[in-house]
Amino acid sequence: MRTAAVVLAAGKSSRMGTNKLLLEVGGKRVLDHILSKLSPIPTIVVLGHRPEDIRGLAEGQGARTVHNPDYERGMTTSFQVGLRSLPEDVEAVFMVLSDTFGFKPDLLSEMSSKMEETTDALIVSPIHKSKRGHPVLFKREILDEFLALGDDVTMKDVVNRHESRHVYVESGIWATIDLDTPEDLKKIRKLWAS
């Protein structure tokens, strides 16, 4: 199955006070962690706020960058910009959030295999202790529903609509980590060191 990844990197990281993709965890920037794990598959990084801070880093690791001029309207618009930039032969796409950086590299292949094995699956998510995580893998046939979203319906609504065709892969804690505040960063660095 031909997969690609869309990394949502357009936000302001306002609760962090600085771009969280440029923060270091374990001696490596968060963006570098993400892109190194995605490197085997075509990756699109969606930029928004201060795109020049990230563009060179992303493109230097082989990712393609696209700009979302409507990034202040939220994550959905960034995902839509990324989806419109996908190669035509892509059969499924990983949506990767900017705090999804600690997952094991083999998680992506496990998720792809799960989608191929479960013929009616539209969505595959990692799960840790009953909590859904990221990245999330979406089959191409569901992507038009995301592209059609307006301000009145969320991506979560699309996911919930197809819960009967949503399958899960067990994963470690890193799939469920949120990196939003300086306090989160302290906890995450401690967890990484352990």
Count of CB atoms situated within 10 Å of the CB of 183: 9
3-state class of 14 per DSSP? coil
Q: Tell me if 115 sits within 8 A of 135, measured CB to CB.
A: no
Q: What is the pLDDT of residue 93?
A: 98
Token pair in block for residue 135: 């990245």
Average pLDDT over residues 12-31: 91
Q: What is the pLDDT of residue 152?
A: 80
pLDDT at residue 143 above 90?
yes
Reported as a single tens digit per residue, the pLDDT across 75-98 is 999 999 999 999 999 999 999 998
Reported as a single tens digit per residue, the pLDDT across 146-192 is 999 987 888 999 999 999 999 999 999 999 998 999 999 999 999 99
Token pair in block for residue 54: 């990230």
C-alpha span between 120 and 164 (Å, rounded): 9
Total domains present in the chain: 1
Q: What is the pLDDT of residue 112?
A: 97
Reported as a single tens digit per residue, the pLDDT across 28-71 is 999 999 999 999 899 999 999 999 999 999 999 999 999 999 99
3-state class of 44 per DSSP? strand
pLDDT range class, residue 5, cuts 50, 70, 90? very high
Token pair in block for residue 118: 């479960």
**For residue 17, what are the domain limits?**
3-193
Listed in sequence order, the DSSP H helices in 22-180 are 30-38, 55-60, 75-84, 106-117, 140-147, 155-161
Q: What is the pLDDT of residue 96?
A: 97
Q: What is the pLDDT of residue 45?
A: 97
C-alpha span between 188 and 190 (Å, rounded): 5
Average pLDDT over residues 103-123: 94
The reply to whether the predicted model has a pTM over 0.75 is yes
Query: What CATH number is given to the structural domain containing 185?
Result: 3.90.550.10
Sequence-distant (6+) residues with CB within 8 A of 138 are: 92, 93, 94, 95, 122, 123, 146
